[in-house]
Chain A
């Protein structure tokens, strides 16, 4: 029985068990409903907004009501004009929402709150038109001459957005897509993390590893959760499509099929990359409660990568955007945006995908090693250093020895230390120099990036991100801090 078949069995179990759980079914239904609602509700609201109620009170030119209706129609609004006997009645109607605006004596507009600019333009235009016509008639200008004088000059407006050839609607679509990618990678990645921890906590992992290699178990788990994630995304997309088909007034920014296909590809790549890291880090903990502390580095990197990608949506051709769309940790969220904004040549996503794949392959090897050596460890959270050294064979040095003993030797070690399992923990303070150097490097990196890209925000993100990740790594590597877990 080869590892691929065993991995597939693991993946199938993940999909089967998870898809049976009530939590999964509820979240699936909820996602579909929320996405459909997000599309349908604004569309229904805005279609109802096409009719406006305009109140008239006090003295007004007789042609005003008809002119308002005409002007409104030209602007794509259906206007209903109501006449009120006096100002108080009109104001009452506005306050109660029966009228959107009250025209008082053709001189003053009274709004329920802030003025609606479009409606204001329509009504003011109508008042001016009527007034000018009256004045023209008074000045003896014939109605025909007045009409030709007042013939409207067509002025259209377009929304430029930040990028040539792309509208702000496209930008919105890309923003949403990047956010969805970030959420999907985070959610399904952390499912791998808790899955690994659950297997360790329930001790089933020893039964499993007696039958299949650790990498088949990890790969199967990642594949199973990933496929289930794709299915969930598919169902949600289907709900969106149904909503679009059912409600014709939904406006979708023109999203091309190729962009969506790339988005799915990048979800798979990004998920594979981060899930591998999540899985390896998960093996360092012993219980589900350890998830927060072992996943520290990823929980910093992912939001930073998302934020960098988000900031770069508006300038997809810049050097910084180019850089983060190639860098494997940020590419899964940055590259789809550049593709959608039309800023990437055809070969760029291909090259970035290859980089990401290569990084994932390297991470799989690293993660496999960590996972194999850490997965059978129980008790206090394992430090990255100990997990790394365990498979390098005996004699990594005297400091490591005690920790290795606890790996599979809890009883002796406990006896030797007077009844308490203790890990070799190097106090963080002894790493003060290292931390200082890393912080300095982070600040330098931030300044360098800020100067090179002339973008202060990007510099701050890069610098802060680097420092945060470096400190998390030091913490994981040394196994400090965090109270030792009381176990058994």
Chain B
């Protein structure tokens, strides 16, 4: 008998919201292929800048139909790795493969990229600009125009197509930048910090969109520092530190594999003496809310009974460590 875990409830909510969104909004640029989309493989990718090793035998996989969160402290090598996918950085060793084939210009035509440093032609009209970028992916003019119009409509910019980019607000410019990445109807979407600088509403729209694209079968790899968001959004995570991959795989599996569990308790009244309870390590007690660390084989029901005997419990959550905790451990190691 669990009282429900706070975090998984939030995930469920987001999933439900997504399902509703999908019901109303079909992904406008339907691929038409609908066939098997493939995965992105980093295979021992290595890049050195002089004496600095930016990527050190990086090996990981981003799978289709899933969101992969690419995490790491500033300067860990995220941007370099993403640039390597697009040949913007030439690898010294190792390869990046798409569908098992080393990535070349032909494969890149089906990729979409949003660089960390945003930028488009400030004086060019929004629609012209997007059509131009779409055509650089090798698609025909009518095809591109149709998908640009669909995306402008979808993101509420249909009336701004004839305006110069620099006439748009910052938020709208961000939307145009996103369309620039999507206009080639990519099978692989690589986004460098897509959430930076977004307000909460825009952030929700972005998470909904990314989830939707993955749902449509695309492979989505994005970097972020917002670990809670990544935890809610991503099926897979990759953590990089000093150019080395320190953790990679399915988030749920990674969390389950950790031999500790976190117990999050809210209570009323006097704080109990946590040290009296066996096999429990107190992380923090803010008075009314306490976080404990226990072994992964702890009987949650028995622990709940023990705690109940000492305090009036409002909520009780027994769960694996959060992504933030995983991240801190992995990066500190």
Contact = CB atoms under 8 A, between A and B. Distances in A.
Contacts of A210: 86-88, 108, 111, 113, 115
Nearest to B106: A1
B107 to A, nearest CB: 12
Contact of A213 (B54, B105, B137): B105
B121 interface: yes
Chain B binding surface SS class: loop
Contacts of A409: 49, 52, 54, 75, 80
B119 A203 contact: yes
Interface residues of B, number: 40
A378 interface: yes
A394 interface: yes
Contact of B119 (A202, A391, A404, A407): A202
Given A391-B90, A398-B51, A405-B50, A211 B132 contact: no
Contacts of B111: 210
Contacts of B51: 398, 401, 405
Interface residues of A, number: 42
Contact of A401 (B52, B119, B180): B52
A120 interface: no
Contacts of A400: 50
A199 B121 CA distance: 7
Interface of B: 48-52, 54, 74-75, 79-80, 83, 86-90, 92, 105, 108-109, 111, 113, 115, 117-124, 128, 132-133, 135-138, 180, 184
| A-B residue pairs, 8 tightest by C-beta | A203-B119, A401-B50, A1-B138, A412-B75, A404-B50, A394-B48, A210-B86, A210-B113
A6 interface: yes
Contact of A9 (B113, B118, B135): B135
Contacts of B87: 210
A396 interface: yes
Given A199-B121, A202-B119, 4 more contacts: A9-B132, A202-B120, A204-B119, A405-B50
B75 A9 contact: no
A1 B117 contact: no
A376 interface: yes
A209 interface: yes
Give the interface centre of B119, B123, B180 by most chain A CB atoms within 10 Å. B119
Contact of B88 (A1, A206, A378, A402): A206
Contacts of B124: 17
Contacts of A9: 132, 135-136
Interface in A371-419: 376, 378, 391, 393-396, 398, 400-405, 407-409, 411-412, 415
Contacts of B49: 394, 401, 404-405, 407-409
Given A202-B122, A405-B52, A208 B136 contact: yes
Contact of A207 (B50, B54, B122, B180): B180
A183 to B, nearest CB: 25
B75 A415 contact: yes
A400 B49 CA distance: 9
A1 B109 contact: yes
Interface string A406-435: 011101100100000000000000000000
Contacts of B79: 408
B92 A394 contact: yes
Contacts of B184: 211
A82 interface: no
Contact of A394 (B50, B83, B113, B135): B50
B93 to A, nearest CB: 10
B294 to A, nearest CB: 38
Nearest to B74: A411
A212 B128 CA distance: 18
A405 B49 CA distance: 5
Contacts of B120: 202, 204, 207
Interface in A209-240: 209-213
A13 interface: yes
B52 to A, nearest CB: 5
21 contacts: A16-B128, A17-B124, A202-B122, A203-B115, A206-B115, A208-B136, A209-B86, A210-B108, A210-B111, A211-B136, A211-B184, A378-B117, A398-B51, A401-B52, A405-B50, A405-B52, A407-B49, A408-B79, A409-B54, A409-B75, A412-B75
